[in-house]
Every structure is written in structure tokens, then in C-alpha cells.
Chains A and B, each alone.
Chain A
Amino acid sequence: MDLVSAQVPAGFPETHPNELTEEFYLNMGPQHPATHGVLRLVVKLDGETVKGVVPHLGYIHRSIEKMAESETYVQNIHLTDRLDYLSCHMNNLCLCMAVEKGANIGVPERGEYIRIMICELQRLQSHLLWWATFGMDLGALTAFLYGFDQREQITDIFEDVCGARLTMNYFRPGGSYCDVPDTFIPRVKAVLEGMEKSLDEYADLVGGNMIIQERCQGIGVLTKEKAISYGCSGPVARAAGVDYDVRRDDPYGIYDRFDFDVPLGKNGDCYDRYTVRIEEMRQSMRILEQCIKEMPSEGPYRSKIKTVIKIPEGHSYANVETARGLFGTYIVSDNKPKPYRLKYRSPNFSNVNIIDEVAKGFKVADLVTVLATLDPVIPDIDR
């Protein structure tokens, strides 16, 4: 497609030419640094004002749901890593939970604690990466260096635990595939200590900056009704005032034992999305601290399961709260070792759907801010 074209591209309503202004269409992506991967946006502009956005998906559609039908449940876990690779532990967990529900497998206490701690660490890690790239999208490179430095410490813990830095493949139905090493708890403590010191500083470094405040406050406002109707979830929805967090409202694992708050935004603008995520990091740290105190130091980390897991005919559904929102796994099984159909509900798919509503009426530069605060991971949308 041409960079700037005069015809009405797919997805836009037919418009009647207006004599006073000259509207045109601009193509952004799929290869664009601000789209966090390969999202393609076709933007309708009047001067510099955005009149409409139509996202085009599928540039990284990897047919994971088709592949899922020819792999066993345990083989499928590694594919969930590659959906939302910044919350891959949570994705693993969701598939494992759906299998556990279907095949009626239990998880021992220590296994649950390991799961929760790893998931919360990952949420911290993911939000740190978001914070780093958010600064970069808005032109502040310092945040990138600090954010990655901190993130690297958590990555080291994961490497210690499961051997991988990014695509972990750690959880299994009934627990996790190996126990955490002895160094795990001390290292988590060290990370928490470091984070406690620096998080306020970080929040201030970007969020306290005048320029960034001006570029975020009042920009990209999402109303609560729209957020619910579009099926938004995670920090994006909570910034708009939707009081729903899977961890609290549909507690899985042992999340009901912990004491944590669900931060909410007031205005639903970009700045609220920023503060909600920063606050979520604090809450994750709170959960981690409680975990460290209560985690049993002895005991089995996984339950014994059959080598070949079969789910009786029917379906099972599980959902978790990833760093981006409600991630769901829907398994339709026919009593074979492989799923008959496996559907992932990805939070980003619904979160990016709102971009037209949110960016309309603002400038092109604000579109980049909006995208940065939606924090999409494109392979999770395309699957």
C-alpha cells in the first residue's frame, strides 16, 4: 500500500468529501518502532488530528491454535510461552490449570507458592519492561537503561530456576517441572530490597517529568462503559475504573490467602494507566513479601501425574490475570491425549480493539503515547 493514499482503505466508513478540510489516510507499520512489533495501523488524519484508526492484524499470526491440535497437553505448554512472551509463566499456568480442572489433578501447597511467586516476579518483570519502553516511546532513553538493568536481575532468577531467560516452559499440570533452588528465596529478597529503594525513584523519573505529564494527562481517555463493552482487561481496564481483577474476584491457586489492593484509575487517560501499573508493581511486591514469609520450606513441589494426560470428553476453561489482563484457555477434549480444540483468549486482542475509540480526536504523537500505555504484545493478539 502507498504510504499516503487518497482512496478509502478497508475498514473505514465511506466518507463524503468535506470542502473545508482535506482528510487523508496514513499507513503506520507493520514495521514501525512505536507499534511494539508488527501491528499495522491505518490512520485517517485531518492535518495532524486523528479522525479514525483501523488496526490490521495478523502479521505475526503463527497458527498456534492449529498446531495445538496435533500436540499433547504437555507439549502445548511451550507454545503458550510464545503468545505473550512477557507473561509466559502466567500463560503456562493458565493452560496447566485448564488441564488440571479437566483431568482433576491437584497441586501441593509448596507447588502453589512457587507458582504464585514466579507469576508475581514475572508481573514485576513485565511492568519493568513496559516502563522502560514507555519512556523510550516518548523519547526518554534513560528509563530504558534503568528498567532493563532491574529486569535483568529478575531474569537471572528465572534462569536459576528453570534455565531459560525468556521462554520458560516451567509449569506442568500438578506443579512445576522442578523445584526451585536454595538460592531462590535469598535472591527474591535481594530483588525486592533493590526494587523498594528504586521504585519510587523510577516512578518519579518518568511520571514526575513535566513533559511526560503534559503528554499523558487527559490524553487517550477511555470510559468505563466502553472498556467493559469492548472486553478490556488488566491495567487498561482498571485505569478506566473497571473494578475487576481475576486474582481477587475469581481467585485461582491460593491468591485468596494474600492481602493486596487492586489499584484503580479515575480518568482513564494515559497517565492513569501509567500510575496503575506502577501501583501494581508495589502490590506484586507486597504479595511476594507475604509469600516469602508463609512459604513452606519443605514438601513436594508437584503432584504425581500420568505420563499421558487425557481429559474426559467435554470442555474445561481456566483464566488467569497476566500482566496485561484476562488470559483464558478453553479446551475442548475428546478423551485423547491431544486437545480437540484449544482456544486462547488473549487480553491484548481486546485491549487493542479500543484504539480507535481512544485515539480519536488527538494528535498523531498522542497515538504513540496511547499505544505505549496500552502495552500490547503483538504475537499474543495474532496467536
Chain B
Amino acid sequence: MGMINQLPKVLDPIPGGKMVVNAVDYLVNWARSNSLWPLVYGTSCCAIEMMATGAAKHDIARFGAEVFRASPRQADVIILAGTLTEKMSKHLEVLYDQMPEPKYVVAMGACTISGGPFYYDNYSVIKGADRIIPVDVFIPGCPPRPEALLYGIMELQKLIRGESIRNPRKPGEVESEPWVNRHQEAVAEWEKEQEAVEEEIAPQRAQWKEDNPDFKAFKHPKKPVEDLEKMEYVPREKRVGAEPFALWNIVHEKFPEVTLHGIEEVTEEALAEKGAEYIPDFVVGTEQYSAFVRFLREHADTDCDYIIQVTAVDFVDRYDVCVHLMSTTKKHKIFVRCSIDHDDPKIDTISHIYLGANWHEREVYDFFGITFNNHPDMRRIFLFDEFDAHPLRKDFDDPSRLTKRPY
């Protein structure tokens, strides 16, 4: 475009030259706005709506934007479809820098506007994509409907048609102020406005009350609920697999120290009282933990070959590591829990017994800082290495990351 950029300088002084420049402007903008090639960029839910917009019913091709490119070097517009997290933001910057000028950014969805549903109590989501790269068009919605995305693209086209060679477009600013609580600001502003309105209408209101002395405030009619209370429920009593008491007997024989969580004296009646949905929850000491899990896996009657999950709970004075196991042959489930010290959280790994436990344990390490002895690959799994805390601990309270919910 180098030569075209020189046009106004050469042509504007000549009589009639301005019109030529305008004509060239029109032509260039027409071409640009009708062949917007978007980059394939979708991080989460909004990407599905973006795909739906590209498909047969909504057909983004009507606006010349159907050529989704996989390389940023061939793209004109990046549709930010989905939440933007801190870990992803560096990559987004690189993508943006790789796009050739002129480049446009369409922010799709509430997440890219302000963090959307992930605004409060969240330590990883960027609260607005405009903090990372300049954005041209914001499309509200969670997710925006395909029609809204099309409207956003039309708005972008309008923006492009307003450009001129005389005054080349510059990308907007990146929002640089620190994270602010926009919700509370908006609420305060609204309250102030409302106060002014109240003051203004106070005399009329008083007058109206005088004129209508027997007025009563409107009440919502109550819906009849009697038949709802009397109604019948679908029974939920199905037990699959072995009886908890039978499992307890097997375990108790080999590991006499093991207890059941929340039950002081284990009898058949006590377990039957818990109902058909009860899943036995064994409490085991740290020394026996790994041997116990191995026993559950290898014993022919428990036969827990499948690992549902490994997780932990922070009880402030201790951590409980919870292992949820299942048997794909016998269909029952068994929970195992092991309390460990809060100050020096360490426990044996079970990733040699269940291969799938490897990632679950890394997740627990990432969120709670619990180290698993002899784990083959003890790294953070979700957060980046510079993140210097374990966020699911109850004492995690980093004001630079978390915005507390005001209600």
C-alpha cells in the first residue's frame, strides 16, 4: 500500500484530484470490508457459536468472512471467541503481533468484555481482552447469538468503510489501569442517578398519594402449591454392586485400624440406615494409604480397577486427600480418605497403581501444594510456574488477583 499512501500528497493539490483520492478510498475500503478473513481462534464456549455462524444456517459467507485462516499471517480480523486467561494472554499477544496491518479485533462474549461470569473470586481470568490487545468491536452476550456476531461484523465493516488514506487508521489503546471493580462503580453511579430521580418525582408522588388515598401496592398473586406438596416422587433407591457392610468386613479383616468416615460404630444396621445411595468412605492413616489402595485394587472381592478421581479438601487444620475408586466389573464405588498435616503436606503417590492418578495428583499439587512422594513428574498442571500460591487453599486471598463478591 506504500504507493497508495502517497496519493493524497500528489493528487490533492491538483484540481479534481481530491475526487480521485476519494474514489480510491472507496474502492480500497469496499474490498477490505467485504473480504475479512478471520483467524481460527476459539478458546471456549463462544467458539461453538462462532462455528455455528460459519455453518449452513447463519452462513457468515454472506459477509465475505467465511475464509477462516489457521495462520495469523493470512488473517485480517481476530474474533476473540472465549475466555482469556492469564496463561493464554501471552500467546494472544504473539498472535496479534503476527497479523499483518491493517488488523482488526472483534471481542465476542461477556468474557472478553470484563471477564463476564468469571469476574468475581477468580484468580486466572483476564478481566477484559482490551487489557491485552486493542479491541475494535465488542459483542455482548454469553454467548452472543450468531446473529449478534454477524451484527458485530457488520459494525466492523462500517468502521472500515469510514477509513481514509488521508488519515490512516491507528489501533486503539490498550486498557492499562489496574483491575477495578466496575460493578461497584456502576452501582454507585446508578444509585446517585436514582437519588436525583427520586428527588425530582417526590412532589408528584406525594400529590398522587393524596389523590388516591385507598391505593394499595401491587402484590404478585400466589401460585397454588398444594398439589405440588402432595405429589409423588420417583424413588431413588438403587444399590449397585456389593453391600457396604460386606466391603467393610473384607477391609476390616486385613486393616483393623481403618474406620468409616462419620460412623462411630460400624454395624449392619448403621450402614443400612444410611440408605441405598451410601458409598463407604474409609479413613486410613498415611503409612497405610498406598498399601490400602493397592489392596482394594488387587483383592478379588473389592476389585477396584477404575480410578474416578483424586482430590483434596482443605479443612484449615488438616488436608483430607480423597481417592474415589470404582469397580467396572462389580459396579460398586469405594471412597478412601487420608488426613495429612497442614504445615507439611506430604503423602505417598498411587500413580504406580493407577496410571490415571498421575494427572489427578498433579492437579492436587497445583491447587493445594500437597506433595506426593515418589511421583514421577511433580509439576504444576494448570497454572504457570510463576504463580506463587496454591489457589484452592482456604487462606489464598491475593487481592491483586481476586475481586471479592460484594454481596
Interface residues of A (CB under 8 A from B): 10-11, 30-33, 37-38, 57-63, 65-67, 69-70, 78-79, 81-82, 85-86, 100-101, 106-109, 112, 129, 132-133, 144-145, 148-149, 151-152, 155, 165-167, 226, 228-232, 242-244, 249-251, 253-254, 256, 299-300, 303-304, 314-315, 317, 319, 326, 328, 330, 332, 340-341, 343, 345, 349-350, 353, 378-379, 382-383
Indicate if the CB atoms of B87 and A58 lie closer than 8 Å. yes
Q: Mark B49-70, 1 if CB is under 8 A from A, else 0.
A: 1011001110000000000001
Cβ contacts A to B, 6 pairs, < 8 Å? A58-B87, A65-B392, A85-B45, A155-B52, A226-B355, A244-B328
Most chain B CB within 10 A, of A86, A251, A253, A343, is at A343
Indicate if the CB atoms of B118 and A63 lie closer than 8 Å. yes
Indicate if the CB atoms of B120 and A59 lie closer than 8 Å. no
Q: How many Cβ-Cβ contacts under 8 Å join chain A to chain B? A: 212
Could you tell me the distance in whole angstroms from the C-beta of A140 to the nearest C-beta in chain B? 14
Q: In the complex the two chains form, what is the Cα distance from A59 to B236 in whole Å? A: 39
Residues of B within 8 A of A57 (CB): 381-382
Indicate if the CB atoms of B359 and A330 lie closer than 8 Å. no
Q: In the complex the two chains form, what is the Cα distance from A226 to B130 in whole Å? A: 45
Let me know if B140 is at the binding interface, CB within 8 A. Answer: no
Indicate if the CB atoms of B379 and A148 lie closer than 8 Å. no
Could you tell me the distance in whole angstroms from the C-beta of B395 to the nearest C-beta in chain A? 13
Interface residues of B (CB under 8 A from A): 40-45, 47-49, 51-52, 55-57, 70, 82-83, 85, 87-88, 91, 95, 117-118, 120-125, 142-143, 145, 225, 227-229, 231-234, 236, 238, 240, 262, 277, 279, 281, 305-309, 311, 313-314, 322, 324, 328, 331, 333, 335, 354-356, 358-360, 367, 377, 379-384, 391-392, 396, 405
Could you tell me the distance in whole angstroms from the C-beta of B278 to the nearest C-beta in chain A? 10
Q: In the complex the two chains form, what is the Cα distance from A314 to B47 in whole Å? A: 38
Q: In the complex the two chains form, what is the Cα distance from A254 to B381 in whole Å? A: 38
Residues of B within 8 A of A82 (CB): 44-45, 117
Indicate if the CB atoms of B40 and A353 lie closer than 8 Å. no
**Top-9 shortest CB links A-B:** A106-B233, A148-B55, A58-B382, A231-B356, A61-B382, A230-B356, A85-B45, A345-B309, A229-B355
Residues of B within 8 A of A242 (CB): 328
Indicate if the CB atoms of B391 and A63 lie closer than 8 Å. yes
Residues of A within 8 A of B392 (CB): 65-66, 341
B51: nearest chain-A partner, CB-CB: A148
Given contacts A59-B91, A148-B57, A328-B308, contact A349 B52 (CB under 8 A): no
Indicate if the CB atoms of B55 and A343 lie closer than 8 Å. no
Indicate if the CB atoms of B383 and A112 lie closer than 8 Å. no
Residues of A within 8 A of B238 (CB): 251, 256
Given contacts A303-B233, A317-B324, contact A166 B49 (CB under 8 A): yes
B401: nearest chain-A partner, CB-CB: A63
Could you tell me the distance in whole angstroms from the C-beta of A79 to the nearest C-beta in chain B? 7
A133: nearest chain-B partner, CB-CB: B51
A64: nearest chain-B partner, CB-CB: B118
Indicate if the CB atoms of A152 and B308 lie closer than 8 Å. no
A166: nearest chain-B partner, CB-CB: B143
Q: In the complex the two chains form, what is the Cα distance from A60 to B229 in whole Å? A: 43
Given contacts A57-B381, A228-B328, contact A304 B229 (CB under 8 A): yes
Indicate if the CB atoms of B117 and A79 lie closer than 8 Å. yes
Given contacts A250-B240, A303-B231, A343-B309, contact A148 B56 (CB under 8 A): yes
Indicate if the CB atoms of A66 and B328 lie closer than 8 Å. no
Q: In the complex the two chains form, what is the Cα distance from A310 to B326 in whole Å? A: 28
Q: In the complex the two chains form, what is the Cα distance from A11 to B47 in whole Å? A: 29
Given contacts A61-B383, A332-B313, contact A145 B44 (CB under 8 A): no
Indicate if the CB atoms of A149 and B234 lie closer than 8 Å. no
Indicate if the CB atoms of A59 and B88 lie closer than 8 Å. yes
Given contacts A148-B52, A152-B55, A378-B44, contact A243 B308 (CB under 8 A): no
Q: In the complex the two chains form, what is the Cα distance from A256 to B176 in whole Å? A: 57
Q: In the complex the two chains form, what is the Cα distance from A87 to B338 in whole Å? A: 33
Q: In the complex the two chains form, what is the Cα distance from A79 to B111 in whole Å? A: 13
Other contacts beyond A67-B118, A330-B322, A341-B392: 16, CB < 8 A: A38-B43, A60-B83, A61-B85, A61-B382, A63-B391, A106-B234, A106-B236, A144-B55, A152-B57, A250-B331, A300-B231, A303-B228, A319-B308, A330-B309, A350-B359, A353-B358
A156: nearest chain-B partner, CB-CB: B57
Could you tell me the distance in whole angstroms from the C-beta of A324 to the nearest C-beta in chain B? 15
B384: nearest chain-A partner, CB-CB: A58
Most chain A CB within 10 A, of B125, B233, B277, B333, is at B233
Indicate if the CB atoms of A67 and B120 lie closer than 8 Å. yes
A38: nearest chain-B partner, CB-CB: B43
Q: In the complex the two chains form, what is the Cα distance from A226 to B355 in whole Å? A: 8
Indicate if the CB atoms of A62 and B331 lie closer than 8 Å. no
- Pick from A62, A70, A299: contact of B124, CB below 8 A: A62
Indicate if the CB atoms of A379 and B45 lie closer than 8 Å. yes
Indicate if the CB atoms of B44 and A314 lie closer than 8 Å. no
Residues of A within 8 A of B324 (CB): 317, 328, 330, 345
Given contacts A326-B308, A340-B313, contact A62 B83 (CB under 8 A): yes
Q: In the complex the two chains form, what is the Cα distance from A31 to B314 in whole Å? A: 35
Q: In the complex the two chains form, what is the Cα distance from A328 to B52 in whole Å? A: 29
Indicate if the CB atoms of A70 and B313 lie closer than 8 Å. no
Indicate if the CB atoms of A30 and B83 lie closer than 8 Å. no
Residues of A within 8 A of B262 (CB): 314
A113: nearest chain-B partner, CB-CB: B234
Indicate if the CB atoms of A60 and B123 lie closer than 8 Å. no
Q: In the complex the two chains form, what is the Cα distance from A165 to B40 in whole Å? A: 21
Indicate if the CB atoms of A149 and B308 lie closer than 8 Å. no
Q: In the complex the two chains form, what is the Cα distance from A246 to B313 in whole Å? A: 26
Q: In the complex the two chains form, what is the Cα distance from A242 to B240 in whole Å? A: 18
Could you tell me the distance in whole angstroms from the C-beta of A58 to the nearest C-beta in chain B? 3
Q: In the complex the two chains form, what is the Cα distance from A345 to B308 in whole Å? A: 7
Indicate if the CB atoms of A229 and B356 lie closer than 8 Å. yes
Residues of B within 8 A of A58 (CB): 85, 87, 380-384
